[in-house]
């Protein structure tokens, strides 16, 4: 159902996002999020916008972080009481690190993450490739997506309790690459590629669509502001938590 391409995918009513795909039954509380994540690892690989998701959850769930100072080094937070972790890794090249040189060994291919997970895993993985790939030919993006699809197939066959999601492109109008205009133009084309290649798995993988949400909220910068990120994260969590939520103790 999440792959259905209806437009609009939702709307805002009194500052609350109303999805046209399904009802939001997940309470917008740290308790509900912890219950969803209990005994699992949430993987949020990607770019700096994925770090925004990671940071929001770290602050919202009040989990301390004393990790690496490497700008794009891996980040992990752990809630020992509820036995869950949230991990961010910089995705594979191409990955523009900015003006200063950074250690490229921090980059980790998302298909390699899928291949490394054990058969009994109940982890939640949100796959995301987008902004950095707008600097190269779309065929490069397509090849990486094809690798992801094959690794996703293999993982789903051997790990029936894993939760896989694909995060789609978001709309933005200004970035370090484009100073004005519709900077996210390629997002619509990359959305087509994601839908094309993941179509064989659409009944087994969640698609998290942020395009209409970020258009409706007029998300101007490549990095959505904190208010937009809050709504994006909750929308993501409502889809990731479709399995039964354990009762808190």
pLDDT tens for the chain, 249 residues: list them. Answer: 789 888 888 888 887 888 888 778 899 999 999 999 999 999 999 988 999 999 999 999 999 887 765 677 789 999 999 999 999 998 887 777 666 666 677 888 899 999 999 998 999 999 999 988 888 889 999 999 999 999 999 999 999 999 999 999 998 887 655 555 456 778 899 999 999 999 999 999 999 999 999 988 888 788 888 989 999 999 999 999 976 544 333
Gyration radius of the chain over CA positions: 17
pLDDT at 177: 56
pLDDT, position 45: 95
Reported as type and span, the H/E element at residue 163 is strand 163-167
The whole-angstrom separation of Cα 21 and Cα 6 is 8
> Looking up tokens 């990095």, which residue turns up?
223
pLDDT computed for residue 106 by the predictor? 80
Which is nearest to 187 in space by CA: 220, 204, 209?
209
Residue 208: strand pairing partners: 167
Q: What is the pTM of this model?
A: 0.90
- HEC sequence for 209-225: CCHHHHHHCCCCECCCC
What is the Cα–Cα distance from 65 to 51, expressed in whole angstroms?
Answer: 13
Q: Which pLDDT score is estimated for 223?
A: 87
pLDDT for the residue 53: 97
Could you give the C-alpha distances from 98 to 1, 105, 169, in angstroms and in order? Answer: 38, 16, 21
**Could you give the CA distance from residue 214 to residue 187 in angstroms, rounded to a whole number?**
12
How many C-beta atoms lie closer than 10 Å to residue 27's C-beta?
13
To the nearest 10°, report the CA torsion of 82, 231, 220, 109.
40
- How far is 244 from 143, CA to CA, in rounded Å? 35
pLDDT at site 124: 97
- Those residues whose C-beta lies under 8 Å from the C-beta of residue 69, and which sit 6 or more positions away, are none
pLDDT at position 70 is 61
* Closest alpha carbon to 92 in 103, 104, 75, 108: 108
Report the pLDDT value the prediction gives residue 244, as an integer from 0 to 100. 54
23-240 has CATH 3.40.50.1110 classification = yes
Token digits of residue 87: 């991990």
**CA neighbours closer than 13 Å in the CB half-sphere of residue 71:** 12
Quote the CA–CA distance of 89 and 44 in Å, as a whole number.
7
Domain ranges (residues) in the chain: 23-240
């Amino acid at each position: 159902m999440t792959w259905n391409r209806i437009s609009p995918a939702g709307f805002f009513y009194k500052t609350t996002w109303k999805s046209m795909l399904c009802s939001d039954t997940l309470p917008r509380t740290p308790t509900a999020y912890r219950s969803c994540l209990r005994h699992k690892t949430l993987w949020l690989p990607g770019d700096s916008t994925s770090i925004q998701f990671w940071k929001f959850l770290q602050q919202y769930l009040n989990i301390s972080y004393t990790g690496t100072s490497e700008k794009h080094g891996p980040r992990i937070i752990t809630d020992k009481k509820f036995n869950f972790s949230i991990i961010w890794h910089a995705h594979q090249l191409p990955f523009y690190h900015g003006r200063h040189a950074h250690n490229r060994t921090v980059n980790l291919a998302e298909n390699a993450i899928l291949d490394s997970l054990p058969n009994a895993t109940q982890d939640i993985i949100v796959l995301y490739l987008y902004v950095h790939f707008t600097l190269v030919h779309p065929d490069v993006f397509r090849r990486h997506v094809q690798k992801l699809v094959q690794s996703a197939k293999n993982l789903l066959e051997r790990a029936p309790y894993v939760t896989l999601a694909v995060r789609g492109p978001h709309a933005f109008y200004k970035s370090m690459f484009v100073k004005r205009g519709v900077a996210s133009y390629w997002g619509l084309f990359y959305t087509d590629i994601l839908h094309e290649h993941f179509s064989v798995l659409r009944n087994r993988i969640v698609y998290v669509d942020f395009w209409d949400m970020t258009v409706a909220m007029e998300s101007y910068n490549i990095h959505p502001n904190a208010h937009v990120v809050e709504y994006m994260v909750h929308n993501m969590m409502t889809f990731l938590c479709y399995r039964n939520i354990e009762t808190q103790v």
